[in-house]
Amino acid sequence: MTSSTMTPFVDLDSEKRQAALKATEFVHDGMVVGLGTGTTSKHLIVALGERVRAGLKIQAVPTSHDTAALAKQSGIPLIESDNAWMIDVAIDGADQVDPALNLVKGGGGALLKEKIVAAAAKRFIVMVDHTKLVPALGGSFPLPIEVVPFGWGSTARNIEEVSGGKAVLRQRNGTVFQTEAGHVILDLHMPNIDDPAALEVALNQVPGIVETGLFIGRTSILIVGHGHGVDVTHATES
């Protein structure tokens, strides 16, 4: 009688929570914190809320309505969105991370606000589970690109000409997905992205594109949750 090999259970949510808890260690009294959007960011917000109730004094800039709602529920004071922020640290998740700490983000559709907040921050901390680490961006996960609805079909064609990939209009439950800013998202499918920086520059020349989900050279610290704990990588060490 042969015994079957069981695939070990991997608790990815636990890995995300571990990474989020580690990220809170970089938040200190008096800071303005950029709060990301997504499942890992939810763990971060809940953990920061616990610290706020214990006496931590911070203010936060949310990157989506969902993040703002959870932050308020957790007791985290928010700064109005039209302020000229001075953000000490922005903390967010990612859909893919390559060895150079470049990212693909936007699976949740909040990439525009996420990039604005990351660009305004002195430090940008990324927290992920181990499955988000990839040898090269692209492939298994499409690149989200936020575009204006007007002429999106022509924009998609131009994106395909520039990238060599296939741009697909994102839909949810049979209807076209709209971002909080009223834009639509084209998910760009490519076998791999050989030169993310060059692709970002090329895409930024296409009229109709609002923002891409490529985050190039923005990561200050990467925190990866594993079954055995967390790994922390600083960009200067990569």
User: Residue 182 above 50 pLDDT?
Assistant: yes
User: Residue 3 above 50 pLDDT?
Assistant: no
The CATH number fitting domain 143-209, selected from 3.30.565.10, 3.30.70.260, 3.30.56.10, 1.10.287.3240: 3.30.70.260
Specify whether the CB–CB gap between 116 and 213 falls below 8 A.
Answer: no
| Average pLDDT over every residue of 69-81 | 93
Query: What does DSSP say about strands 221-226 and 229-234: parallel, antiparallel, or unpaired?
Result: antiparallel
Residue positions annotated with a catalytic role: 114
**What is residue 228's predicted lDDT score, i.e. its pLDDT?**
87
Q: What is the pTM of this model?
A: 0.93
Query: What does DSSP say about strands 209-212 and 184-189: parallel, antiparallel, or unpaired?
Result: unpaired
- Fold entry, domain 12-132+217-237: Rossmann fold (3.40.50)
Q: Which residues contact 34 (CB under 8 A, 6 or more apart)?
A: 60, 61, 63, 85, 87, 89, 90, 91, 92, 117, 118, 120, 121
Q: Please name the amino acid found at residue 100.
A: A
Q: Give the whole-angstrom CA distance, residue 139 versus residue 59.
A: 38
Task: Write out pLDDT tens, residues 115-164.
Answer: 999 999 999 999 999 999 999 999 999 999 999 999 999 999 999 999 99
Any idea where the domains of the chain sit in the sequence?
12-132+217-237, 143-209
User: Residue 4 above 70 pLDDT?
Assistant: no
| Average pLDDT over every residue of 212-221 | 98
Q: Residue 84: which pLDDT band, with cuts at 50, 70 and 90?
A: confident
DSSP secondary structure string for all residues of 14-29: HHHHHHHHHHHTT--T
